[in-house]
Structure 1
Amino acid sequence: MQIKSINPFNGKTIETYKSHSLKVTQDIIAKMHKSYLDWKRGSFKERAALLKKVAIVLRDEKEECARLMAMEMGKPVTQGRSEIEKCARVCEYFAENAEDFLKPEQVPTDATKSYISFQPIGIVLAIMPWNFPFWQVFRNAAPNFMAGNTVVLKHALNVPGCALKIESIFQKAGYPADIFRSLLIEHKHIPAIIQNPYIRAVSLTGSTEAGRSVAMEAGKALKKCVLELGGSDPYIILKDADLDLAAKVCAEARLLNSGQSCVAAKRFIVIKDVKKKFEEKFKEEISRFKVGDPLDESTNIGPLARFDLRDTLSSQVKRSISSGAKCILGGEIPKSEGAFYPPTVLTDVPLTSPATKYA
């Protein structure tokens, strides 16, 4: 299978990659296990030194990484730089604090001395999303490396360049071979990878459906599983709220990363007495955001990460309007070659509409 990296700004193919077969994938994992046996014996000091080097490499290559995100999934380059800086900081944070976090914890028992000791467990499979293609990986890898584990990454298929770039960053920082690897694999291979005896835990950030599937596979093998799934977070605007501030904060919270964030504000529940005023102010704030080329320094909102995501969103909006919602801003796919969808505001939204359930 070929994996294509497609620029959502113009629909052009950036690069085509050959996916890893299941056999190649299992061979990579076997090599990683051998490397893990040495890695787990390292000291906190040694691990911290390497992780601090990762922070240096990230900052040195910040511009390249930010531009790569802009081209592969449409993140405005200004936000991409901030994401890389956040990755560097999380590396420094765990390098400086992990030893204290993982020190033995004494517990009272009838024995002379009892304590909890934290030990490495092995290879952790990280199944990560495209919306924060660097941050989601580094916030997972940094604590795992400091704990003595190794990480194999199964990234979203629309950001293969980001996945390989992350692997390159760890290599440039001096990490031993096969401590971190990026797998370019199809989704259908995930169950077999989870069942691999060298994989000791799995972490997924993604949809509820994906989380349910991964949890089921991990459960079959009695392996540790950590899930971060999507949500539909509500903001509540009370009668005595500062409406100017509320509108500004709500607009920024909703449109972060072009609205593609599982922790973003999704729904706004407004007290009836101030609903009309809030709608006007919110609409005004939303209209301030500039939609355009993610490589343009003045752009606030780039295209959505994929064309199918744009089409799904458009369908949800149309079905919500059909169910009774009123559209007071946006709502139509613009005539452009990119995967753009305008900032859209729906009001009087029925609880059963797609906008309420899937926002």
Structure 2
Amino acid sequence: MRLTSKYAAAILLAAFTGMAASAHAQEKTEITITKQPSILYLPALVMQKQGLIEKSAAQDGVKNLKVNWRSFSSGGASTDALLSDNVEIVNSGLGNLLLLWDRTKGKVKGITTNSALPLELVSRDPKIKTLKDFGPRDKIAVPTVRVSTQAILLQMAAEKEFGKDNWSKLDANTVQLGHPDAAAMLANASGEISTHFAAPPFSYKELKTVPNAHVLLRSNDIIDGGLSQSTLFTTTKFAEANPKIIKAVLAASEEAIAFIKAHPDQAVDIYREISGDQTSAAELLDMLKQPGMMDFQMAPAGSMKFAEHMSKVGILKTKPAKWTDYFMPESAGLNGS
């Protein structure tokens, strides 16, 4: 029997309604997000404390969303958890996002960044004043060798210092350690780690308390305009099945960053409570007053320069044409670079 256009339209409408209902039914009611030590991840702690993702999701119809937060000492462990479906969203460095985007052929993408605070290469060895002073036995702690944000920044700095064919000159000096362990090792005068490519507040405390500690270079010295570090990313499969949660993460990030800038004292209290960091509130507030230390922002900064280096040295097999290649469509309005 031939269908009239009226009946055909009704059937199509029913089909689309059914698809929408099916997609809605698949929207998760419980998710797990990773986080890492460092005040770089302060927006995540504010989101956790204030239940901002849950609040935003509820306003969009996802009632009673439960968000679990799991701590990892390195980005490598958290990305493994994403690939094995043990977590839904990762909050880690930009390098880990790019690596997974490449390895999964675009099936992992960013949602938003939320900080571009400066990273600092801190050494306690008074003989080491520049990258040229490192000998083969001088060890540099980074969160993940070769592929962490710090490891790649070190390669970019080595290329500037030693020439384009020598970007890997200091790779053999790197040792994989999470920031808390690296800071403890740096504070030990007899420890084998004499240099740490540190994130705040670890770099701040090292410079205050470790004898002879000094800064060799900062991330802003390597990439003009700074580099986003803390990045929220997930699989495209999860994003497509849970668009309201992706929207909620974006809204919650914006709200958390606005809260930090308006109420840094309260934000610091949240950081100390959740992280367990014993640094005094006064010291943390003093740290946030340092240049670049309030660069909490959603727009990816310096990411294409970072990606271009990763592609050039073979870490990425696919070179992105623009930053939106490795971020979700919902993020396109962030005005990143």
> Shared fold (TM-score greater than 0.5)?
no
Q: Normalized against structure 2, the TM-score is what? A: 0.29
Q: Normalized against structure 1, the TM-score is what? A: 0.28
